[in-house]
């Protein structure tokens, strides 16, 4: 079985073929459905149909429009906005729509509950700070977040957009700009985020069990830029989504669009299911996703979920470790609590599944150790662990991948094994907050592809992503860099940890602390 298709095409040929296929059909679903069409399609760099009206239906008119006038209470404007949303909601029915306009100014919001049939527009130049929250994991805007289902809800910046500035808020780094959960037909658009290396992605696209389980269905998240993101997080984390478009997104640091379908609630809901499909992603589209000084623009990691199709086009990075990172499915087993050491947890797992069954062991949230099983042990783990290794649909495709080489990408230390010794000393510490250090290093490849041969979740979590890398879109790579297109399981690791000690350079404390 051919593992996947990596196509390198010249620009003139691409332009001709792209025009040809688009002229045949303007509907991406017509083009990709059917085995013969799929085989033909994967040899092209045709654009996806990312017209926002396919994913979000905007109100034709608004029965009520309210221009707010705030009292500008320092650090606390939340109640005024929430009261306006609640009052407007009380005066709408299922077939009427309302709009709230936030005038240009500086405000402090926290725990805002968005409601059905309401659009919040924010005037150009407005600055929103994180206000005082009742939650440790702080949310500024919640779309069906622990409140039950909503629909037809939007947060939109006017003109050139507004800014959400997280830097001034106390020392809490558990910041979420938008928690998007039980909502159908939504739009989040046109603003920038000034982050402070927060320990959540700024926008969570997630599942909830309030009147559920439910997760976002039909929506658009677009025209957002984030600065200073954490290496392990970034702009968007998508756990669960059906027919959602991500468009015109950029991020400095971390991962711009992380489609990583793993959280504890989904684990609880899918445990012991032969086909784990409560949550996860289906028919997710991404267009014009970029990253700078980070880990990757786009990341796919299924963990234990059987996901549907992901279609992505125009994925780029500048000075990042990779442009695209793809991980295979796998099974992880948590220790019972955080009093169990890593060595003890590993010994217990290998006693159950066999010597050498643990591929890696590390800490997750709350300081609990988790053991990741090797692929060849994943299937046998189902009876004990209740999970199989996950996948994405083999109809998934990523096209128009471009990479500009640099030395300021967020560095995952496991990826150092692909670096020559002399390059490892170019890794340096960018920021340090407590025990949390953010490291930078050189670009390693356009694509990191950790998937493996196989036929799906019953075997080893393998799946096929049709990748299209344009070799002419690899820019500024120094002569002699061995891997400029793709790192996969056939790539030789350059080992020698003992001989390649990294001498970290200065590690400043961020100015916002």
Lookup: tokens for 163 = 């800014």
Mean pLDDT for the stretch of residues 374-378: 81
CA distance 113 to 101: 16
The pLDDT assigned to 502 comes to 59
Residue 461 has phi, psi (to 5 degrees) of 75, 30
CA distance 66 to 60: 17
C-alpha to C-alpha distances, 401 to 120, 252, 288, 418, 471, nearest whole angstrom? 34, 18, 10, 21, 9
- Percent of the chain, pLDDT > 90? 55
Q: Does the N-terminal peptide bond of residue 65 adopt cis geometry, omega within 30 degrees of 0?
A: no
For residue range 467-494, what is the model confidence (pLDDT) as tens digits?
888 777 889 988 766 667 888 878 877 6
Lookup: tokens for 386 = 């209740």
Q: Which residues contact 139 (CB under 8 A, 6 or more apart)?
A: 110, 111, 133, 145, 176, 177, 178, 179
362: helix, strand or coil: strand
Lookup: tokens for 383 = 């009876």
Give this prediction's pTM: 0.88
CA distance 188 to 204: 12
The pLDDT assigned to 459 comes to 53
Q: Which one is predicted more confidently, 360 or 122?
A: 122
For residue range 229-250, what is the model confidence (pLDDT) as tens digits?
999 999 999 999 999 999 999 9
Which residue has tokens 């603003």? 191
34-38, 123-127, 357-361: which has the highest mean pLDDT? 123-127
CA distance 234 to 360: 24
Three state DSSP letters for 175-198: EEEEEECCEEEEEEEEEEEECCCC
Identify the band that residue 21 occupies on the pLDDT scale cut at 50, 70 and 90: very low
Q: Answer whether residue 43 shows pLDDT above 80.
A: no
Q: Is 95 left (phi over 0), alpha (psi -120 to 50) or beta?
A: alpha
CA distance 348 to 341: 11
Q: Which residues contact 445 (CB under 8 A, 6 or more apart)?
A: 322, 403, 418, 483, 484, 485, 486, 487
Lookup: tokens for 487 = 């790192």
The pLDDT assigned to 238 comes to 98
Residue 363 has phi, psi (to 5 degrees) of -90, 140
Lookup: tokens for 380 = 């046998």
Parallel, antiparallel, or unpaired for β 280-292 and 358-363? unpaired
Helix (H) or strand (E) holding 231, with range, is none
CA distance 74 to 78: 11
The pLDDT assigned to 22 comes to 34
Angle (CA) 299 279 396, round 5°: 45
The pLDDT assigned to 483 comes to 62
Mean pLDDT for the stretch of residues 71-89: 90
Average pLDDT, the chain: 84
Identify the band that residue 42 occupies on the pLDDT scale cut at 50, 70 and 90: very low
Lowest-pLDDT range, 73-82, 197-206, 305-314, 339-348? Answer: 73-82
Lowest-pLDDT range, 7-11, 107-111, 283-287, 467-471? Answer: 7-11
Identify the band that residue 109 occupies on the pLDDT scale cut at 50, 70 and 90: very high
For residue range 252-310, what is the model confidence (pLDDT) as tens digits?
999 999 999 998 899 999 999 988 989 999 999 999 999 999 999 999 999 999 999 99
Identify the band that residue 19 occupies on the pLDDT scale cut at 50, 70 and 90: very low
Identify the band that residue 79 occupies on the pLDDT scale cut at 50, 70 and 90: very high
Lowest-pLDDT range, 41-45, 392-396, 421-425? Answer: 41-45
Lowest-pLDDT range, 48-57, 66-75, 336-345? Answer: 66-75
Contact between 211 and 183 (Cβ < 8 Å): no
Q: Give 264: exposed, middle or buried? Use CB within 10 Å, 0-12, 13-18, 19+.
A: exposed
What's the start-to-end Cα distance of the chain, in Å? 53
Identify the band that residue 14 occupies on the pLDDT scale cut at 50, 70 and 90: very low
CA distance 491 to 286: 28
**Helix ranges restricted to H, 382-502:** 382-385, 421-424
Q: Answer whether residue 224 shows pLDDT above 90.
A: yes
The pLDDT assigned to 76 comes to 87
The pLDDT assigned to 500 comes to 64
Assign 3-state DSSP to the chain and report helix, strand, coil percentages, each to 5. 15, 35, 45
Q: Which one is predicted more confidently, 314 or 461?
A: 314
CA distance 276 to 266: 9
Burial 30-45 (b: 16+ CB within 10 A, else e): ebbeeeeeeeebbebb
CA distance 110 to 82: 10
Identify the band that residue 45 occupies on the pLDDT scale cut at 50, 70 and 90: very low
Q: Answer whether residue 501 shows pLDDT above 70.
A: no
- Percent of the chain, pLDDT > 70? 83
Q: Answer whether residue 68 shows pLDDT above 70.
A: yes
Q: Which one is predicted more confidently, 151 or 437?
A: 151
């Amino acid at each position: 079985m051919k593992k996947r298709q990596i196509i390198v095409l010249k620009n003139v040929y691409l332009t001709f073929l792209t025009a040809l296929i688009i002229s045949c059909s303007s509907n991406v679903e017509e083009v990709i459905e059917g085995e013969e069409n799929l085989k033909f399609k994967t040899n092209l760099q045709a654009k996806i149909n990312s017209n926002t009206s396919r994913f979000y239906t905007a109100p034709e008119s608004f029965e009520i429009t309210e221009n707010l006038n705030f009292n500008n209470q320092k650090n606390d404007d939340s109640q005024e906005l929430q009261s306006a949303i609640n009052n407007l909601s009380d005066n709408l029915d299922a077939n009427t729509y309302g709009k709230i306009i936030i005038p240009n100014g500086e405000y402090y919001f926290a725990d805002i509950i968005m409601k059905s049939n309401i659009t919040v527009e924010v005037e150009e130049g407005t600055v929103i700070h994180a206000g005082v929250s009742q939650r440790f994991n702080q949310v500024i805007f919640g779309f069906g977040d622990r409140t039950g289902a909503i629909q037809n809800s939007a947060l939109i910046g006017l003109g050139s957009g507004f800014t959400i500035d997280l830097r001034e808020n106390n020392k809490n780094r558990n910041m979420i700009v938008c928690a998007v959960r039980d909502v159908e037909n939504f739009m989040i658009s046109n603003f920038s985020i000034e982050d402070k290396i927060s320990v959540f992605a700024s926008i969570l696209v997630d599942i909830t069990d309030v009147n559920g389980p439910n997760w976002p269905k039909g929506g658009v998240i677009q025209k957002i830029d984030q600065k200073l993101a954490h290496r392990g997080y970034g702009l968007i984390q998508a756990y669960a989504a059906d027919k959602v478009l991500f468009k015109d997104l950029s991020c400095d640091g971390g991962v711009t669009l992380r489609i990583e379908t793993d959280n504890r609630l989904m684990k609880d809901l899918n445990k012991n299911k032969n086909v784990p499909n409560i949550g996860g992603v289906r028919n997710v589209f991404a267009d014009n996703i970029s990253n700078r000084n980070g880990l990757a623009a786009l990341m796919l990691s299924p963990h234990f979920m059987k996901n549907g199709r992901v279609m992505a086009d125009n994925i780029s990075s500048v000075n990042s470790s990779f442009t695209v990172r793809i991980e295979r499915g796998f099974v992880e087993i948590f220790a019972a609590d955080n009093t169990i050491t890593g060595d003890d947890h590993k010994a217990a797992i290998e006693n159950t599944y066999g010597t050498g069954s643990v591929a890696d062991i590390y800490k997750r949230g709350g300081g609990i150790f988790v053991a990741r099983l090797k692929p060849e042990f994943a299937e046998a783990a189902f009876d004990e662990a209740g999970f199989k290794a996950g996948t994405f649909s083999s109809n998934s495709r990523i096209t128009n991948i471009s990479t500009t080489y640099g030395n300021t990408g967020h560095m995952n230390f496991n990826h150092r094994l692909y670096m020559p010794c002399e390059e490892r000393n170019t890794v340096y510490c960018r920021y340090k907050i407590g025990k949390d250090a953010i490291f930078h290093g050189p670009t390693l490849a356009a694509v990191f592809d950790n998937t493996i041969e196989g036929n799906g979740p019953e075997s080893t979590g393998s799946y096929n992503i049709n990748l299209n890398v344009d070799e002419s879109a690899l820019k500024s790579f120094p002569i002699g860099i061995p891997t400029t297109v793709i790192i996969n399981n056939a790539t030789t690791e350059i080992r020698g940890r003992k001989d390649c000690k990294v001498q970290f350079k200065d590690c400043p404390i961020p100015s916002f602390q």
